[in-house]
Structure formats: structure tokens, C-alpha cells
Chain A
């Protein structure tokens, strides 16, 4: 395979700036990146990390400043230029063609052909070579839209490598991965770097950044506040540069569930697709965590509880009352809310405003006859936005103009504004910065303390163990154990893997 034909170029960024409709989001960025270096970008949500990466990847054009590779100035602003220079951007949003197979996506627009006819056997061989390099386990024939997000991301990485990327720019690649997948990816990044590929990595996981990066750059409000050797930094020092002050980010301690707390939500014998015979019970004031590997049916279980998919068998009850023919609408009427896994596909209406999105699930609670009450809506949205700290220039701006982490907060806000009795959350802090993450943790703990029943799915095992009163572990869609608070993370992980799995 020829995925590193040339050494990666030395990248020099000089005075780069970018504004959106008059608002500056990046100013005077000077940055040097050596060939084969793993360089990490960190900063709060909205600091400009993705913007900088997109400028390097040619997805957007900087308003000012220059980029040069090996000393030659280049004018990027077109992804094709960037690809020609060996730069490949894997963005936060994902950019696969949903209806095509894995194989077609990997070689998108670069399919092997002879005289215009496609040669899929040749592609297949190239694919197998890539699989060997990366150690991924991906079915080349699968349609991309049916794959879990983590696997989709692997497909994007395969595509970049297939294009001979010498500079790989990864925007929050680990946000969607489970623990062991993260470890695999970080190992791959190191291997690629050793092979001479430059890797740019944006991440909110500071431990991970420090373990994998050679050098690290901190952005704050569009300005570069630090570039230095990763070895000289600690998570604390990075946070201090990111937010400009000391920050204490300890997990909150959940309030104990009162002994007489009633069962709010229960499910018996849920079945559909991979989900087999899942039973669960959550009491008022309790946080139930669901752990498992990617593909173990965690998301699917939450969707069944909300009626997003119809169960083949099984019953869901709220306060002891069975919900028949469950649909999202009925679930909402019964007081259930679901913060879904994917903000782009299932969560937000991207081109509509932040305000409309947050208001969408609770429209009928603020109306006068058929009319929306704009003033009431504005104040309700402002209030809930403050509780999750959404940083948006204007709530009238399209939600797609928000940074990834702020979109996640908007999604959370949308469901909070319904004041549900039962909150189902799929990856509550995906893409959210350290400070805001801690704020969401405190919020979940407070909501539970106030009597809400919470079911939470998270690939981040620390987060799950810290937030939950109990943890249910799924393996291949089956419950393999429920553990009480204080359980060792290794016990949960091995239950998820299946080394052991009896009750603790």
C-alpha cells in the first residue's frame, strides 16, 4: 500500500483570521507544525478549533493570513486543493454518502477503473490492505447509514488513508468512541505519526491529548493562547489556559435515592433487533446508567423506551401504568424525554434558529390559541440556555452556526425545557468542553435530586460510573448484570466484554 508516498510537509500558519458576518471567530493565529508531529488543539466550545481545522483542510477559506507547506505559500479554500496537498480533514459532522457501501465511501470518486469501468476487485484488495494497516473491523459491503457512528468514523479514516493523506486532521474523533476503541484509535495515531504522517487532533479529553500529542495548542475565544510541548502540560494547566482561570472539575456526588421513592419507569421483556429481553426499572430520583460496547444495544434500548422505534415485544410502564402502542408523542405525554444520540440526524433542525430548536419540543406549553407567544418563548429559551451555558451570538442564529459543543447543549436544553419526569439521555456530554461537561454533570445530579428519573447512556465509563446510582450492562443486546454505585470500572468493562458477567 502506498499511503505515505511523500514525507508530510512542514505546515506554517501565519496571521490567520476568520469572521462570520462581521463577528471574528479566529484572530492572528500563528502556528508551526513539524512533519510527523501529533499536534493537538484544545479549547472551550466555540473557541475556534474546528474553524482552524477547516481552514487547514480547505473546507473554508480564511479571511486573512497565509498558509504554507514546506515554505511554499498555498491558497487553500477548496477541499480538492487540500487533498492534493495530502491534507485530509475528518470533521465533527461526518461527511459520508449515506446510501453507499463502506467500500464505495472509502474510495469515493477515486474508484479503481479501467477505461471508465469500475474495478471493484481492485478496490477490495486496496481495502484489505488498509484494514491491515489500521486493524479496524469494518464490513466493506455494509451500507454506511446503517453503521454506528464510531464505525462511520473509522470509514472516514480509511478514506483519508486511501487518499494518501500525509496530514490527518481529526476533529473530536474520540467523542463518539467507546473506551477500547479510543485506545485503538490513539494507538493508530501514534503508529501513523511514527510512519511520518502528521496528525492534528482536536479533543476535549485532556488526558488523551496529553498522552498522544507531541505538542499542544490552546485556543481561547479565537486567539491562540499557548503552544508548547505536551510533556510540559498537565490537564490543569491546559484548563487554566482554556478558560483563563482555575477551574475545579470534580464529579458531583449524587444524592441517595430515598428508600420510599416510587418506580417511575419500568420496562419488561423489550425486544427489537439486537435488543433481547431487556428489563429495567428506574425510581424517582435515580440515575440508571447503561454501559456496553458500541453496538451492544444501548441506544436501541433508549429508543424503545421512548417509542422512537416500535418494540416487537415488551412493555414500558410509567408510574405503574402500561403505555400501549408507544410513540414519541405518547411517551412525551407520559413525561418522558429523549436526548438522542445524533444531533444532526435526530436532534436538531440544523437550518432553523437556536430558539426554534429549543422551543420545538415544548411548543404547546407556550401558546395563545394557535399562536406562538414569542415573548414567553424568548424568556423560556433564555432561561434554559443559561442553565446549560449555551454560547451563541444570537438565539436567532441558525443552530448549524453554533460550535459542536454548543449544539449539544442546545439539544439538551430543548428537552430540559419540557421539565420531564423521566429523562433518557444518549451521550449527554458528547463534544462538550471540560467546564460545560462538569456543568451538565451537576445539572443531571440536581435534576435527579429533584425527583427526576434518569436513564443515561455514555461511552465514557468514568462519567457513567460517577453519575449513576446503578449501572446496567448490556452485551449483544442482552442485560448481563446490574451493578450498584461504587463498582470497579474493570468489573463493568469485563462484563461488557463478556469475560465474566455475573452480578456483583
Chain B
């Protein structure tokens, strides 16, 4: 009867139309890269200073912090939650890091900061999952607690490593491979690992499924709660690393570090093309979003434009980039 029903289009050799269609989808999906390239080309043509190795090293150093945070934000958003604790976690784990450095050494202190970031992520995630409160509100409240704890722990003072540790404490600013700073290398390696985790592992598949349809994921045997907690832990680790980079640069940590940067991170994720509705997006998109934001700031410097207008222009460029991306994807 129907077993050999009509020509099945299950797995035939791709027809010409199909190949074209596949390409079409590609071009559309990578619209935001075109925006990035356009900005790079514009800056290369309009300044002599943009394409110098000094500026590029500087740029990649700058992008590390927002890039790490955008990666954490992207993972959370894909899984269907927001993490507004990112900057508070950043501050608190950097502070814990400096305190441990003071009592042991720089290396142990850095490891402690990352562990603290992961634990804070675990706590945030548990709060969100257990309370059942919308993640936006739950993490907003939690972030206030974390900031408050940061103030309590530091007594609102700036924390420094011991004098003899100061030089080593700045190690994330040191030049490293290819003349890039160590911060850039940390950023590239960590983000690369997370990107692979999300794109190629079964864990990544679960992240997408939970963000796309939590109920369908649950009925497919996925523990939705633990997936969310894991996403927050990844975000916590990214925050802690970003906090270490900032602390290493400044030679200190304090409770008011990086206030508000969690929103920049979410903006970067969304500019890159990750849907705030969850279930769609990619880590590289968060990185592209962070690059675009950083390039805009960099361009202002290089072009010597009046920074009074920087925010207005940044806002307009974000709308443009996102608008083009949306337009390209809509036209099916």
C-alpha cells in the first residue's frame, strides 16, 4: 500500500533550487556580519589609524570584557532566561578574588574568583528555578543583593592586592601570543569553548530546546531546571573572568565595578541576532554584537568626533544594524 507512497523528499540529492535556497538562507542569516564588515571597512577607509596593529590589539583588549558578558547573556537568552546579575556577579567575584589573592597568591585568587562566579551563577539559577518568578525580576532582585554583599564585604573601600603582588596581579594586561593581551587570549579561548559547547554538544541542544519550548523539552525528558541553572553558571563564570580582566587592568576591585554593563551585554547579544524570545541565536552572534558596540566607541576616538554625540549615534547604529538584520530575515 502506501509504504512506497509517492516520491519521498526525505533525503534526495539536493536539487538546484534547494542549493540556491540553502545559500539564500545563509546570506540572510549572516546579515549582521555584513554590518560588522561595513563598519570595519568604513573605519579603515576614513582613518589611517584604524588598521594599525596597535589599534587592533587595543580593540580586541577592549572587546574582551563586553564579549565575555555578551557570551554569558547569549547562553542565558537562548535558554529562555535573562541574567541581570552579570555586573554584580562580576564585582562580587572580582572582590572575592582580590581578598583570596591577599591571603594566598595571584593564581589561587584568580581561580577562586572564577569558582565564586560559578557558585554565584548556581545560586542565581537556583533562585530563578525554585522561586518560579520571572527571571527578569528574580535576577534583578538577586543582583541588588550581590551588589549589597559587595559593599558589605569591602566596607565600600577599594581593595588592592599586596604591594609585592601588584605586578603579577596585572598579568591579564600583559602581552601574550601574537602580541595580543592576555585578556584577549582568555576571552578568545573561553568564548571558543562555550561556542563549541552550545553548538556541538547534547547540552547545547538541550539549551536550545528548553529556550524554544520548555514544555516540549520537559516531555522529552530534559530537566529544564538544571539546564537553566547551568546557563546561569556559564554566565557567572563569564562575569567572573570579565571582573578579573577589569580588576587586573585597574590593579584593584571595588563594589561599584562595571555598574550597568549587564544591559550592554544583553544589547550585544541581541544586536548579534539572538532572539530575546529564546530558542534561537548563537555565541558568535554575541561576540559580533560586542565587536560592533566596541567599534563604534573606537571609531569615535579615531575620528576625533565629539563624544557628546556618541550615545545618540550608538543608539542609531544599533537600531540600523538590528533593523537590517530583521529586514533580511523577514523577507522569506
Chain A residues proximal to chain B, CB less than 8 Å? 20-23, 44, 243-244, 247-250, 306, 308, 328-329, 332, 338, 340, 345-352, 356, 359-361, 363-364, 367, 370-372, 382, 385-386, 389-396, 414, 435-436, 438-439, 442
Chain A contact residues, majority secondary structure: mixed
Which residues from chain B contact A391 at a C-beta distance below 8 Å?
Answer: 8-10
Nearest-Cβ distance from residue B229 to partner chain A, whole angstroms: 16
B13 at the interface (CB under 8 A from A): no
With contact pairs A352-B212, A382-B10 given, residues A23 and B21 touching in the complex (Cβ less than 8 Å): yes
Q: A44-B6, A306-B219 are in contact. List 19 more A-B contacts (CB 8 A).
A: A21-B21, A249-B1, A328-B218, A346-B215, A349-B208, A350-B212, A356-B208, A360-B217, A363-B206, A370-B203, A372-B202, A382-B11, A390-B10, A435-B2, A435-B6, A436-B5, A439-B1, A439-B2, A442-B2
User: Contact: A356 with B209, CB < 8 Å?
Assistant: yes
Which residues from chain B contact A389 at a C-beta distance below 8 Å?
Answer: 2, 5, 8, 10
Counting from the closest, the 3 A-B pairs by CB-CB distance are: A349-B212, A370-B201, A329-B221
Chain B contact residues, majority secondary structure: helix
Interchain residue pairs with CB less than 8 A apart (19): A44-B6, A243-B6, A247-B2, A249-B1, A345-B215, A346-B219, A349-B216, A352-B208, A356-B205, A356-B208, A356-B209, A363-B202, A372-B200, A382-B11, A386-B10, A389-B5, A390-B10, A395-B11, A442-B3
In the bound complex, CA of A394 to CA of B202 (Å): 21
In the bound complex, CA of A489 to CA of B280 (Å): 47
User: Contact: A394 with B10, CB < 8 Å?
Assistant: no
Nearest-Cβ distance from residue A421 to partner chain B, whole angstroms: 15
Which residues from chain B contact A352 at a C-beta distance below 8 Å?
Answer: 208-209, 212, 279
User: Contact: A394 with B205, CB < 8 Å?
Assistant: no
User: Contact: A435 with B5, CB < 8 Å?
Assistant: yes
User: Contact: A371 with B212, CB < 8 Å?
Assistant: no
User: Contact: B2 with A438, CB < 8 Å?
Assistant: yes
Q: Which of B175-232 contact A (CB under 8 A)?
A: 197, 200-206, 208-209, 212-213, 215-223
With contact pairs A370-B201, A370-B203, A386-B8 given, residues A394 and B216 touching in the complex (Cβ less than 8 Å): no
User: Contact: B215 with A360, CB < 8 Å?
Assistant: no
Interface string of B242-280 (1 = CB under 8 A from A): 000000000000000000000000000000000100011
In the bound complex, CA of A329 to CA of B20 (Å): 41
B22 at the interface (CB under 8 A from A): yes
User: Contact: B22 with A394, CB < 8 Å?
Assistant: yes
B48 at the interface (CB under 8 A from A): no
Which residues from chain B contact A393 at a C-beta distance below 8 Å?
Answer: 9, 18, 21
Closest-by-CB residue of A relative to B211 is: A349
In the bound complex, CA of A338 to CA of B197 (Å): 29
In the bound complex, CA of A389 to CA of B10 (Å): 7
Nearest-Cβ distance from residue B83 to partner chain A, whole angstroms: 21
Which residues from chain A contact B280 at a C-beta distance below 8 Å?
Answer: 351
Interface string of B2-39 (1 = CB under 8 A from A): 11011011110000011011101100000000000000
In the bound complex, CA of A348 to CA of B219 (Å): 10
B332 at the interface (CB under 8 A from A): yes
Which residues from chain A contact B18 at a C-beta distance below 8 Å?
Answer: 23, 393-394
In the bound complex, CA of A222 to CA of B76 (Å): 41
Which residues from chain B contact A244 at a C-beta distance below 8 Å?
Answer: 6
In the bound complex, CA of A298 to CA of B21 (Å): 43
Interface string of B100-120 (1 = CB under 8 A from A): 000000000000000000000
Nearest-Cβ distance from residue A236 to partner chain B, whole angstroms: 14
Which residues from chain B contact A340 at a C-beta distance below 8 Å?
Answer: 219
User: Contact: A328 with B212, CB < 8 Å?
Assistant: no
Nearest-Cβ distance from residue A428 to partner chain B, whole angstroms: 15
Which residues from chain B contact A328 at a C-beta distance below 8 Å?
Answer: 218-221
Which residues from chain A contact B11 at a C-beta distance below 8 Å?
Answer: 382, 385-386, 395
Nearest-Cβ distance from residue A356 to partner chain B, whole angstroms: 6
Count chain B CB atoms within 10 A of each CB in A20, A306, A340, A352 and give the residue with the most. A352
In the bound complex, CA of A310 to CA of B216 (Å): 16
With contact pairs A243-B6, A346-B216, A382-B11 given, residues A22 and B202 touching in the complex (Cβ less than 8 Å): no
Which residues from chain A contact B22 at a C-beta distance below 8 Å?
Answer: 394, 396
In the bound complex, CA of A349 to CA of B207 (Å): 12
Interface residue from B2, B5, B212, B215 paired with A351 (Cβ < 8 Å): B212
Count chain B CB atoms within 10 A of each CB in A329, A346, A363, A395 and give the residue with the most. A363
Closest-by-CB residue of B relative to A352 is: B212
Nearest-Cβ distance from residue A327 to partner chain B, whole angstroms: 8
With contact pairs A338-B219, A393-B18 given, residues A22 and B203 touching in the complex (Cβ less than 8 Å): no
With contact pairs A346-B219, A382-B10 given, residues A359 and B3 touching in the complex (Cβ less than 8 Å): no
User: Contact: B220 with A439, CB < 8 Å?
Assistant: no
User: Contact: B202 with A364, CB < 8 Å?
Assistant: yes
In the bound complex, CA of A348 to CA of B280 (Å): 14
With contact pairs A340-B219, A394-B22, A439-B5 given, residues A350 and B205 touching in the complex (Cβ less than 8 Å): no
Closest-by-CB residue of B relative to A384 is: B10
Count chain B CB atoms within 10 A of each CB in A243, A347, A389 and give the residue with the most. A389
Nearest-Cβ distance from residue A339 to partner chain B, whole angstroms: 10
In the bound complex, CA of A189 to CA of B212 (Å): 37
User: Contact: B21 with A360, CB < 8 Å?
Assistant: no
Which residues from chain B contact A392 at a C-beta distance below 8 Å?
Answer: 9-10
User: Contact: B8 with A349, CB < 8 Å?
Assistant: no
Nearest-Cβ distance from residue B22 to partner chain A, whole angstroms: 7
With contact pairs A328-B218, A328-B219, A351-B212 given, residues A247 and B21 touching in the complex (Cβ less than 8 Å): no
Which residues from chain B contact A249 at a C-beta distance below 8 Å?
Answer: 1-2
Closest-by-CB residue of B relative to A370 is: B201
User: Contact: A385 with B202, CB < 8 Å?
Assistant: no
Closest-by-CB residue of B relative to A343 is: B216
In the bound complex, CA of A352 to CA of B205 (Å): 10
With contact pairs A247-B2, A372-B202 given, residues A23 and B10 touching in the complex (Cβ less than 8 Å): no
In the bound complex, CA of A349 to CA of B223 (Å): 15
User: Contact: A21 with B9, CB < 8 Å?
Assistant: no
Which residues from chain A contact B17 at a C-beta distance below 8 Å?
Answer: 22-23
Which residues from chain A contact B203 at a C-beta distance below 8 Å?
Answer: 370
Which residues from chain B contact A371 at a C-beta distance below 8 Å?
Answer: 200-202
Closest-by-CB residue of A relative to B3 is: A439
In the bound complex, CA of A436 to CA of B3 (Å): 9
In the bound complex, CA of A81 to CA of B9 (Å): 36
User: Contact: A349 with B217, CB < 8 Å?
Assistant: yes
In the bound complex, CA of A226 to CA of B165 (Å): 85
Nearest-Cβ distance from residue B78 to partner chain A, whole angstroms: 11
Closest-by-CB residue of B relative to A340 is: B219
Nearest-Cβ distance from residue B325 to partner chain A, whole angstroms: 16
Which residues from chain B contact A359 at a C-beta distance below 8 Å?
Answer: 205
Nearest-Cβ distance from residue B142 to partner chain A, whole angstroms: 26
Interface residue from B213, B215, B220, B223 paired with A361 (Cβ < 8 Å): B220
Closest-by-CB residue of A relative to B28 is: A21
Interface residue from B1, B215, B221 paired with A332 (Cβ < 8 Å): B221
Which residues from chain B contact A385 at a C-beta distance below 8 Å?
Answer: 10-11
Which residues from chain B contact A396 at a C-beta distance below 8 Å?
Answer: 22
With contact pairs A328-B218, A346-B215, A352-B279 given, residues A360 and B205 touching in the complex (Cβ less than 8 Å): yes
